[in-house]
Chains A and B, each alone.
Chain A
Amino acid sequence: MRTMHDIHAAELAKRAEELLAAGHRLALIAAHHDPDAVRIVYLFASGPPDTRIELHVRLARDRPEVPTLAPLSFPAGRFEREMRDLHGIVPLDHPLPRRLVRHFHWPRGWYPMRPDAGPPPPFGEQEGPYPFLEVEGDGVYEIPVGPVHAGLIEPGHFRFSVVGETILKLKARLWFVHKGIEKLFQGRSVAAGLPLAERISGDTAVGHALAYCLAVEEATGTKVPADAQRARALLLELERLHNHVADLGMLCNDVGHGILNTHAQRVREQLLRLGAEITGHRLLRGGVIPGGAALRALPDPVRLRAIGEDIREITDLALGHSTVRDRFTGTAILTTQAARDIGCLGYVARASGLAGDARTAHPFTPYGALLEVPVHDSGDVLARFLVRAEEIETSLALIDQLADGLMAPGTVLAPSPVPGAGPRTGVGLVEGWRGTIATRVELALDGTLARVKPVDPSFFNWPALPLALADTIVPDFPLTNKSFNLSYAGNDL
């Protein structure tokens, strides 16, 4: 299922090109500081059938330089920039040799992921300058927004170059929330890694926890019972449900139709309370655990059906409202080509005609015939709204099917793994509500976490937002941003 190839840096580009041409996508690049070398892992994945291919490249510790893959794959270029900023590994001939993750004031030459980095030093001299590209011309002006916004949203700076009300160029400067999560994982026990994984992006507790657990279980050679996998799939759909419902409401709110938001948030609150009954936590934390799953209760089918009715009514009212529909239709179009080039995932990709879904590509439990992956190809806000609405239907049907035959309250756990068994590396690919989450884990000899590299779909999707906004008008930005609803925390680990 997962194959690893140790290759030489010189053949990297050729091998990567072959894999990409064969229909694999680059899921993750992770750098490791082994005692004798710097090792970079390139994970390529495709499915069905579930295929995962890793390329391992070893570099000299004193001169960590690697040929860039940026001309072959846009996400690869971003992973490489992230790697350079955090590990000091230089991608040779990178077309965009600028910082990505790196904070303004980190001291020059300090790389937090290196083994000798030590505790975070005080902020130093700014490394810049990092000027914004200036758009010139008659009547072009700039609108700087953020990083601190009105309302409870995460920090990000947006620089609009605008003529009249039309956006010529948008530059999103993110990376204000580096928490050092990858570093925090190192040295933790598997059990202590779980709470961290659940908090990578607060709204994706199940998705990230599940990707982490699947990776750990592969690394330890744990066979998870089928019932536990079903319970996990159930929780994953519940998470999709409460997030999508909130998004549907907030999309309506952003076009000034507050009443539907009020009702969507009421439905979301019911789902959060349901989550608290099922796992003991409103955001479904603690349900997915390494080796199994723990459920305190099962969702009541009658209640879920009522919730489904409510959501359907909200969706119908929104789509039946001529102004709301007008605001959604044709707004901020992301073309299929652009989505493919950028490597978009999740509902953003599915609204632009790309049918990728880890539940079909990398299933961890049989989903059966009820799993439908809705795809729209108009790429506008309406398409992203519709994909969410249709995914809610699928999730409701799946929850009904998955809950059937599960026992609650109860914890289903695999027998504890034999210490030292298993390949000590593992990969988890999970279709979180935002898209495919990839987590790669390596264990130390004593069974603690040596390296955990989680990748939130937001990391892939963020570059699509400025692209979709070209030629959109400024007042439609908040609506577009909400239709993407990308995570800042999951993007900037």
Chain B
Amino acid sequence: MSGVGYVAVAGQVAVVAAGGPLLAGWMRQVRARMEGRVGAGVLQPWRDMRKLLRKEPITPVGTGPALRIAPALVVATVAVAAALVPLLSTDTPISDRADLILVVALIALGTLALALAGLDSGTAFGGMGASREMTVAALVEPTILLSVFALSIPAGSTNLPAIVSGTVHDPARLASPAGLLATAALAVAVLAETGRIPVDNPSTHLELTMIHEAMVLEYAGPDLALVELGAQMRLTLLLGLLASLFAPWGIATSASWAALAVALALFTLKVAVLGAVLAAAEVFWAKLRLFRVPELLAGSFLLALLAVIVSYFLSSES
């Protein structure tokens, strides 16, 4: 058992790390094709990564440790979270520790590290981006917590593998009002957390409108490569989490090689489909006015809260 379990954990981290840039490339490609452009190809983010890693590291004068450790910290937190979240298998050696609160805290730690780095850069853009990011994060993190919490009530545990395997055995939970509300809430939170339209525009060059990009304007070379990798991995992880929670079919619940292989194939497929849907939706959406973003996020928080309440009522009835 343990052999397969360890491979599953390593596989989850590897697939998120290697797949992150591919997912970003895939989404850009989908978007380009929908807009009638040729696109740079799915591999472009990896090519960019290679280019950035070859450049010399540059640290702006007068910056402190926050700027220097943030890129590594972002990648590390996402990697640990990827090991914990049951993306491929619920039966891993560390599945007992895969608590939802821990996962959300890890993601928040990465956000916080980048915001501190933005402040540390000492530029107006860094500070502006950090302040906006914190405004968004303050609304997003509770939403993620609450919506996953709504799903944990039927499972009776905040342990993510327990929630996922519970859903695999009892898919009816997903079709419940609580499940649907939580899906909607989490989907909006994922958009905000990963800096996509309508909250942030990842492809803009307009410094004054940026949220995530404004924080990382001072990065160059290998540091920038890590920051980008971190952002891409985070998107993969969160889409994977969404898939695991709301379409858990195919995730290995036992320690078998065959189940793991099927899980890997299905995970790739699910995340690719989610990415394509997101990219396609972005073509038709526009970016919200910054002051409307809290309204959107407050709405998603409300959905999550409703999901929790509903799941309490329904579970007490049954």
Contact = CB atoms under 8 A, between A and B. Distances in A.
A183 B262 CA distance: 75
A145 B198 contact: no
B208 A474 contact: yes
B198 A256 contact: yes
A478 B286 contact: no
Given A473-B291, A478-B208, A327 B286 contact: yes
B207 interface: yes
Nearest to A252: B286
A184 interface: no
A266 interface: yes
Contact of B286 (A141, A145, A323, A474): A323
Interface stretch (A97-105, A257-265, A337-345): A257-265
A256 B199 CA distance: 10
Interface in A407-453: none
B198 A323 contact: yes
A321 interface: yes
A349 B285 CA distance: 31
Interface string A129-152: 000000000000111110001110
Nearest to B196: A256
B286 A143 contact: no
B292 to A, nearest CB: 7
Given A259-B35, A262-B36, A478 B206 contact: yes
B284 A259 contact: yes
A141 B124 contact: yes
Contacts of A256: 197-198, 201, 204, 285-287
B169 interface: no
Q: Which of B36, B132, B209 is most buried by chain A, counting CB atoms within 10 A of its CB?
A: B209
Interface in A322-349: 323-324, 326-327
A79 to B, nearest CB: 31
B290 A326 contact: no
Interface in B271-315: 283-292
B248 interface: no
B54 interface: no
Interface residues of B, number: 29
Contact of B289 (A145, A262, A263, A476): A476
A258 B206 CA distance: 14
Given A151-B205, A256-B198, A326 B37 contact: no
Interface in A368-410: none
Contacts of B26: none
Contacts of B34: 259
B267 interface: no
Given A141-B124, A150-B207, A262 B37 contact: yes
B125 interface: yes
B283 A150 contact: no
A113 interface: no
A80 interface: no
A326 B293 CA distance: 13
Contacts of B208: 143, 145, 474-475, 477-478
A86 B25 CA distance: 52
A418 B207 CA distance: 57
A144 to B, nearest CB: 6
Contacts of B285: 256-257, 323
Contacts of B283: 258-259
B110 interface: no
Contacts of A145: 207-208
Interface string A150-166: 11000000000000010
Contacts of A85: none
Contact of B124 (A142, A151, A255): A142
A254 B198 contact: no
Nearest to A317: B284
B203 interface: yes
B259 to A, nearest CB: 41
A258 B290 contact: no
A473 B124 CA distance: 15
A144 B207 CA distance: 11
A478 B209 contact: yes
Nearest to B202: A256
B127 interface: yes
A321 to B, nearest CB: 6
A214 to B, nearest CB: 38
Nearest to A473: B290
B75 interface: no
Contacts of B206: 150-151, 254, 478
A256 B290 CA distance: 12
A170 B128 CA distance: 16
Contacts of B287: 255-257, 323, 327
Contacts of A151: 205-206
B205 A144 contact: no
Q: Which of B132, B201, B284, B289 is most buried by chain A, counting CB atoms within 10 A of its CB?
A: B289
Interface in B225-253: none
Contacts of A258: 35, 203, 283
A288 B199 CA distance: 47
Contact of B128 (A143, A266, A323, A324): A143
Contacts of A327: 286-289
Contact of A165 (B203, B288, B291, B292): B291
Contacts of B291: 165, 473
Nearest to A263: B36
A327 B201 CA distance: 14
A259 B37 CA distance: 10
Contacts of B204: 256
A381 to B, nearest CB: 11
A475 B289 CA distance: 8
A324 B286 contact: yes
Interface string B117-160: 00000001101100010000000000000000000000000000
A149 B198 CA distance: 24
Nearest to A476: B289
Given A150-B206, A327-B287, A477-B208, 4 more contacts: A165-B132, A255-B287, A256-B287, A257-B285
27 contacts: A141-B124, A142-B124, A143-B124, A143-B125, A145-B207, A149-B207, A150-B207, A151-B205, A165-B132, A252-B286, A254-B206, A255-B287, A256-B198, A256-B285, A257-B286, A259-B283, A259-B284, A262-B35, A263-B36, A323-B198, A323-B287, A324-B286, A326-B292, A475-B289, A476-B290, A478-B206, A478-B208
Interface of A: 141-145, 149-151, 165, 252, 254-259, 262-263, 266, 321, 323-324, 326-327, 473-478
